[in-house]
Structure 1
Amino acid sequence: ISNIRDIKQTLYYEFNRKFLKRSRPEIWDKVKKFRKLYNSISKKGYDYKRGYMVLSEDGVRLDGSHRGAIVEHLKYEDIIILMVRWEDCFKKKQLGKLYSHINDQKKKYKI
Structure 2
Amino acid sequence: MILWFEMNKLLYAMLVATVLGASACTSPTPAPDVTISSVTRGMTQTEVTKRIGPPDRIFGENGSECYQYALGDYGSVPFAVYFKQRAVSASARGKCDLALVRAAAGPAVAYHSSDYAVMRR
Whether TM-score is above 0.5 comes out as no
User: Could you tell me the TM-score, scaled by structure 1's length?
Assistant: 0.27
- TM-score normalised over the length of structure 2: 0.26
Which structure has more RCO (C-alpha within 8 Å, separation ≥ 6)? Answer: 2
Structure of larger gyration radius: 2
